[in-house]
């Protein structure tokens, strides 16, 4: 079963604009990760934020985590056509469990 | 260095046929994961190996699904008597340490299975 839900399900923006995607989850976590998936390809890891962190940056990416609200957001600044992809959040549980639980994904379309 | 590789990339099987999907993780990675991704959905966990030990197989949907990693490197996911609902992309991922879901996982390109 999917743990997280991404919002929106689909997002279309123009090149140069910022894109914000949100993720909500249900159980306590050790970390939350964001992945990108281009059509027909595997997932590429973007960023990992641990439960004791509130914000993390990597290049044009900014991730926030609010464990009290069980939510995270991914901001892509100055988007490019190459950012067109599906974006998934995945939660790593607290405790000894081994599996990442993925959300349903946001499909981002960046047009010229 | 090479990433995670999977073969075949595409597999068409007739209902009832057995299939074997192969995963070559990044060299030296201790942890290996299999996921199943249905069309339009996020990946769903199937099973986890730490070296050759299968520590979690809670996501395998039925006893028709079997995975092994006998020497702690290459892994094979076998599906017996395939059914149409098995059609999906099967993703393999590896991570460096024996820490399960607590670190970055590196994914292969996946095997797209279509059962007719």
Q: What average pLDDT score do residues A41-65 get?
A: 95
* Closest residue in A to B6 (Cα–Cα): A42
Q: CB distance from B49 to chain A under 8 Å?
A: no
Per residue of chain B (116 residues), what is the pLDDT tens digit? 589 999 999 999 999 999 999 999 999 999 999 999 999 899 999 999 999 999 999 999 999 999 999 999 999 999 999 999 999 999 999 999 887 778 889 999 999 999 99
Q: Which residues of B touch A87 (CB under 8 A)?
A: none
Q: How far is the first Cα of chain B from the last one, in angstroms, to the nearest whole number?
A: 37
Cα separation values, A40 from A43, A109, B97, Å: 10, 15, 28
* Domain assignment of residue B72, yes or no: yes
* Domain assignment of residue B74, yes or no: yes
d(C-alpha A69, C-alpha A54), whole Å: 12
One DSSP character per residue, A5-51 reads EEE-SEEEEETTS-EEEEEE--S-EEEEEEEEE-TTS-EEEEEEEET
* Domain assignment of residue B70, yes or no: yes
Cα separation values, B47 from A6, A15, B81, Å: 24, 39, 19
Residue A72 in contact with residue A87, Cβ under 8 Å? no
Among candidates A1, A4, A99 on the partner chain, residue whose Cβ is nearest the Cβ of B101: A99
Structure-model confidence comparison of residues A40 and B18, the more confident one: B18
DSSP secondary structure code for residue B25 in this structure? P
Q: B46: domain range? A: 16-95
CATH (domain of A85):
2.60.40.10
pLDDT, residue A41, reads: 77
* Domain assignment of residue B68, yes or no: yes
Distance from CA of B91 to the nearest CA of A (A): 7
Cis preceding linkage at A80, omega within 30: no
CATH (domain of B23):
2.60.40.10
Q: Which residues of B touch A92 (CB under 8 A)?
A: 100-102
CB contact under 8 A, B42 and A2: yes
CB contact under 8 A, B4 and A90: no
Q: What average pLDDT score do residues A27-52 get?
A: 91
What is the tally of structural domains in chain B?
Answer: 1
Structure-model confidence comparison of residues A55 and B39, the more confident one: A55
* Domain assignment of residue B7, yes or no: no
Q: A77: domain range? A: 5-111
Distance from CA of B48 to the nearest CA of A (A): 7
């Amino acid at each position: 079963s999917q743990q997280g839900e991404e919002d929106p399900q689909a997002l279309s923006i123009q090149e140069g604009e910022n894109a914000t995607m949100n993720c909500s989850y249900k159980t306590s976590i050790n970390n939350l990760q964001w992945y990108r998936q281009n059509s027909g390809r595997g997932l590429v890891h973007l960023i990992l934020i641990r439960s004791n962190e509130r914000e993390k940056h990597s290049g044009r990416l900014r991730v926030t985590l609010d464990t009290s609200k069980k939510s995270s957001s991914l901001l892509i600044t100055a988007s490019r056509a190459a950012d067109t992809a599906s974006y998934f959040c995945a939660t790593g549980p607290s405790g000894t469990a081994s599996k990442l639980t993925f959300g349903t994904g946001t499909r981002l379309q960046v047009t010229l | 260095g090479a990433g995670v590789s999977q073969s075949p990339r595409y597999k068409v099987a007739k209902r009832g046929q057995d299939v074997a999907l192969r995963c070559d993780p990044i060299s030296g990675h201790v942890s290996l994961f299999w996921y199943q991704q249905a069309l339009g959905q996020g990946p769903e966990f199937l099973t986890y190996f730490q070296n050759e030990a299968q520590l979690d197989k809670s996501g395998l949907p039925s006893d028709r699904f079997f995975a092994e990693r006998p020497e702690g490197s290459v892994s094979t996911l076998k599906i017996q008597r395939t059914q149409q609902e098995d059609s999906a992309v099967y993703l393999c991922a590896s991570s460096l340490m024996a820490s399960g879901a607590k670190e970055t996982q590196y994914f292969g390109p996946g095997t797209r299975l279509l059962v007719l």
